[in-house]
Amino acid sequence: MSGLWEPIFGRSTIAATTSDRAWVIAICDAEAALGTACAESGLLDAASAQRITDACRQVAETADPAELGRHAAADGNPVIPLVRAIRSVVGATSAPSVHLGATSQDILDTAAMLVVRRALPVILESMNAAGEACAMLAREHRDTVMIGRTLLQQAVPTTFGAVAAGWGEGLDRTTLGLRAALAGLAVQLGGAAGTLGGWHPHGPAVRAAFAAELGLVDPGTVWHTERSRIAELGSALGATCGVVGKIATDVVLLAQTELGEVREAASGGSSTMAHKHNPIAAVTARAGAAQAPGVFATLLAAMPAELQRAAGPWHAEWPALTALLDTTGGCADRLATSLAGLEVDTGAMARNVPRDNIDVGHAGDLVDHYLAGRS
């Protein structure tokens, strides 16, 4: 996915948080924080730590990702050439103090959590916009009767407010999951074989300081090959995509010419048919959401990390996690676009309801319950 495709899938904003530059910055941030943490435990002097921090900032801004990539291939990860670059900036004396005690995975896992921490707010912003739109629709259409459809057959009436409330509940629920994931992001620090040997006897203190410096959680242990944290994060993203996909599917269905109950404010055109009102934001939201199950399965399948560092499964997480963040952010953005100013044709809704049955039971209560939960 790049410039030609990103806007179609709503990824322009999220992509900036998962870009090469974003990763380079995150890795440099982690190395800088490690230096500071080591200094706090007396493993480094403060001046060295400061030099490392300065060098990291400089490298973060100036390093060429493509050149790093070329040097990264030999060892299989981008930390090694970045450490080299940072060391070259700090100079020979302080060079050994860079990356002190750490292994590439410590830095890359931690950098990944920083990337996630910067990507999740973008996703949450779209989710919030979509959620606000649902709340507005639910409020406005609390009593707009429409036909309920089960197995895509007309069934008995409900209200569009209740439908929008149901959409919103899914968004709110998965938003909570994303927030919990955000709050739980933890550093990884263990050294070559996960024993924190390089900082002994200050290992736990260094890890705590490392976490504090970065504003991440101190996990109290190592998780280099215990990847349930990645699975949990992926679950929150995957469920988000599922909810987005459900709402987008409903928009596409209700926007069908024959139903005509909703219409996107900025419906797409067609290269051949000027009269069409394609719900293109919802269509592309569905397409984005549909990437999640497969990509998340890749993350789950990568959990069995061999012994003290996975010989492939760890590396497999990088493209999968990036793709999952991108597609979640993208489909949430497209959904927000679809729902913003969604035009509701109450006349069409009324026409599809049988005259002799407008009993909508507790539909209003469902709306009230949903709205109360948000306030």
Is 39:64 a contact under the CB 8 Å cutoff? no
Question: Using the rule CB under 8 A, is 283 a contact of a second copy?
Answer: yes
270 catalytic? Reply is yes
Angstrom CA distances, 151 to 148, 155, 157, stand at 10, 9, 14
Site residues (CB under 8 A) for a second copy, limited to 18-37: 19-20, 23-24
Nearer to a second copy, 137 or 289 (CB): 289
Residue 61 touches a second copy, criterion: CB under 8 A: no
Q: Taking CB under 8 A as the criterion, which residues in 106-145 touch a second copy?
A: none
**Least spacing, CB of residue 276 vs a second copy, in Å:** 5
Cβ-contact 82, 59 below 8 angstroms: yes
What six digits make up the tokens of 356? 């002799």
Q: Choose, from 173, 228, 270, 351, the residue flagged as catalytic.
A: 270
Distance CA 126, CA 124 (A): 5
Choice from 2, 93, 274, 356 touching a second copy (CB under 8 A): 2
DSSP per-residue string spanning 261-291: -EE-TT-B--SS-TT--B-HHHHHHHHHHTT
Among 125, 132, 218, 232, which residue interacts with a second copy (rule: CB under 8 A)? 232
To a second copy, the closest distance from the beta carbon of 283 in angstroms equals 5
The number of residues making up the chain comes to: 375
Considering beta carbons, is residue 215 or 373 the nearer one to a second copy? Answer: 373
* Residue 329 contacts a second copy per CB under 8 A: no
Catalytic member of 88, 309, 334, 375: 309
Rule CB under 8 A: is residue 95 a binding residue for a second copy?
Answer: no
Beta carbon nearer to a second copy, 294 or 347: 294
Contact status: 338 vs a second copy (CB under 8 A): no
Distances (CA, A) of 334 to 6, 34, 313, 331, 353: 11, 38, 31, 5, 30
Whether residue 207 lies in the annotated active site: no
Asked whether the beta carbons of 186 and 222 are under 8 A apart, the reply is no
User: Hey, which residues are catalytic here?
Assistant: 270, 309
